[in-house]
Structure formats: structure tokens, C-alpha cells
Amino acid sequence: MLIDMQSFYASVEKAAHPEYLNRPLAVAGDPARRSGIILAACPLAKAYGVTTAEALWQALQKCPDLVIVRPHMHKYIQTSMQIKRIIESFTDLVEPYSIDELFADVTGSLHFYNNDPFALARQIQTKILIETNVYARAGIGENKIIAKLCCDMIAKKNEEGIFFLKKDELDQHIWHKPTRDMWGIGSRMEKHLYKMGIHTIGDLAKTPLGRLRSKWGVNGEVIWRVANGMDDSPVSTVSHNTQKDIGNGMTLPRDYLEAWEIEVVIQDICTEVCRRARKKGLMGSVVSLSISGADFDHHTGFHRQTKLEDPTNLTQEVYEASKRLFYINWDRQPVRRVGISLSGLTAAETYQITLFDDKNHLRAIDKVMDSIKDRFGDTAILRAASLTSAGQAIDRASKIGGHYK
């Protein structure tokens, strides 16, 4: 099963505020910080045409009585974990796919429900609703991709919120739908497929695999397998345990035009990335920097990476590497988003000692800062640059995933 929560953020807010139960409600970012974007809208709001990711002012034009609630990410994470525990009471094979979607392999539990997957799905749906006031939908299939397609394209749209899609019935239920409706197909890919004469999911499923592989390589095979409902991956409880990189991104409250301002942001992000790496006992040998502007119609910026001589988790070393990438590649265009990641991860138990660099001094600084932050909070000690007009460390400390806790 793929179990999905309806309008998750909005549902959690309505559960916390029963007075909003019969009113259109949306969760949106802070308009004063230029992040007034709809993150979730309840079904009543959607009936007015309010959609996720549209600007708040547009939503209010469609629905002047819309209740706007600021996101509370900590609450959503707690509820998501509670829902995971509920599903784990039915099966021990539960794999989070996102904060509001979870895969569950219920093969071993079906005999308790007379081998009726609908009965089991209803039990899960009912228990989640009783304990959290969040309405769940369930797509059922013989593998993860069919369950996902079933949930997104059928279960979310039917009255019961549950559907069992059999592989030999794909042609009856989803092959007639446009390719854009399929998981993994965006607007750009849809245009490419259209030029190839591929308009529906069925067209994609029947396209010779070699033609798609010659066009897009492995990705061509991936979308072909999705269209045909082919997926060999198991539901895994450890799928997210192996970490390939440690990174952070930050959307800025305004365009940053001066180099020194962007340096401050880079330093703030490096501080957080390296602190997380040290907590996990990891070092990285590859530093990546992403810079982008605010105009999505006219892309500016770059994504570049550099290989370090030795793996590190020292803030100063990652900062210097990131700063070099910035000055080599920045086109002097306004910057609205900065992202930094550390990859090529290895255990931090052993590290290279050098004769000419006093890395022990840098390690001592990082260790002291980490211990103070762990004990007294993220803003208990900051670099002086973070207190300038460009600094974002204080504001970021009050957020989870870019939204207020």
C-alpha cells in the first residue's frame, strides 16, 4: 500500500483548531518574507480553486474568506511520526516516502483480514482518523510503483479513498490518462514525449524500450517501467539509513547583490552543514555550491563542486572551498537562493595530519561551538558576520525546513 494523508498540513491545523472545521483553510508561508506561497489547502479551499504552490494573494482573490495559518513544521513532523507508528501496528514493513506518504507491505497481515486488502486499508484509515483527525487514502498494488500510481490517480479521487489496482488492469484504469498525470513526468518531459507522438500513459507503456533508452538512457527505462507497473524494489525500513551527502539550502528574504552579503550566507550554511556532519561522525571530500536567482523564467546562477585534498568536516575548510567556487562562478546577478552540500562521505574516526596547517586549532573551535549550541541553543554562539544585515542564522534557528517550527 501507499498510504497518503489528505491535505496533510491543513488537516493537522484543523485538528488543532476545530473552530476552522467547516471553513476553507490554507497553510502558507510568511508574506512579509516574500514566502507567501500556499503549502497546503483543505478540500473546502480547493473547491474555490486554491492550489498548492500558488501565491497567497492569488488564493485570496479566489477565496476572500480563506483562513490563513502559518506552518508549524514541528507539529507536522510529530503527527507524521505518530501516523507511522499507527501503520506499524498493522505491519512492521513501513517505509516513509515523504512527510505525508508511507509505503507499507501488508502481505504478512492480510490473513488477519480474510485476505481482504480493502478491509485492512479501512482499518488503517479509521485508526489514523480517530487518533489524529487526518484522513488517509490508500492505493493498493502488487508493488510500490503500482500502489503509488493507484493512490495518486484513483484512490485520491474516489469517495472511499481506497482502491486496489491490479497489474493486468492498468490498461483499464490509467493507460488512457495523459503522461503528465504519471509520477515522474513533469511539464518538460511531457513536451518531449508529445513530440515523439506519446500522449498517454498507454502510449508510453507500448513504446519500444530501446527508443526511450536511446533518448534518455536509464531515465527512459525508468519512465517505461513506471508506465508498465514494473518495480522490484521491496518496502524497506532502512532505505533512508545510508546517507550520500549532507546539505542545506536557504531561500533569502530579498535579492542579495553584494559579494560580502553572500559570503555571510555561505558561512552560515557551512556552519550548519559541518555541524551536522560532525554529529553524524562523518567527513566529506566533495563540496558543492548552488546559487540561483529569484526569476524562474530567466534562470541565473550555477551549481559547481570541488574535490578536496582530504576529507573534512571543519567549518573553515568547507567555507573556504565554497567561497572559492562562488568567486570563480558568480555572474554578478542577484542571488536569492544558496545551497551547500558535503558528499564523498567517510567516517570521521581517522583523519590526515598535516605538518603546516593547524587543523587541531580549527577542530577545537568547532568543538566548543558545537557544545555551546547543543547545551544552550543554536543562537547561543554565533560568528560576528551572522549578526550583520546579511546574516540569516538567527532567523533560520527558529525554523524547520525553511518554515517556522
CA dist 402 and 400 (Å) reads: 5
* Residue at 265 is within a domain: yes
User: Worst-scoring range by mean pLDDT, 50-59, 169-178, 263-272?
Assistant: 50-59
Supply the residues annotated as catalytic: 101
* Residue at 114 is within a domain: no
Examine the domain organization and report whether 356 and 298 are in the same domain. yes
Domain count, the chain: 3
The DSSP letter of residue 222 is: H
Range of the domain at 51: 2-73
What's the confidence (pLDDT) of residue 36? 76
What residues are designated binding site for Mg(2+)?
Answer: 4, 100
pTM of the model: 0.74
Of 42, 73, 104, which one is at a domain's C-terminal end? 73
* Residue at 255 is within a domain: yes
CA 288 to mean position of chain CA atoms: 19
| pLDDT tier, 34 (very low <50, low <70, confident <90, very high otherwise) | very low
Examine the domain organization and report whether 221 and 293 are in the same domain. no
Examine the domain organization and report whether 217 and 304 are in the same domain. no
* Residue at 336 is within a domain: yes
CATH of residue 214: 1.10.150.20
User: How does pLDDT run across 359-377, given as a tens digit for each residue?
Assistant: 888 889 999 999 999 999 8
Q: Which residues pair with residue 287 across a beta bridge?
A: 306, 342
Examine the domain organization and report whether 252 and 395 are in the same domain. yes
Examine the domain organization and report whether 303 and 193 are in the same domain. no
What's the confidence (pLDDT) of residue 179? 94
User: How does pLDDT run across 217-248, given as a tens digit for each residue?
Assistant: 999 999 999 999 999 999 988 766 567 889 99
Examine the domain organization and report whether 211 and 343 are in the same domain. no
- Residue 159 in this model has a pLDDT that exceeds 70: yes
Examine the domain organization and report whether 210 and 303 are in the same domain. no
| pLDDT tier, 30 (very low <50, low <70, confident <90, very high otherwise) | low
CA dist 204 and 394 (Å) reads: 49
What residues are designated binding site?
Answer: 4, 100
* Residue at 22 is within a domain: yes
Examine the domain organization and report whether 187 and 262 are in the same domain. no
How deeply is 366 buried, as exposed, middle or buried, from its count of CB atoms within 10 A (0-12, 13-18, 19+)? Answer: middle
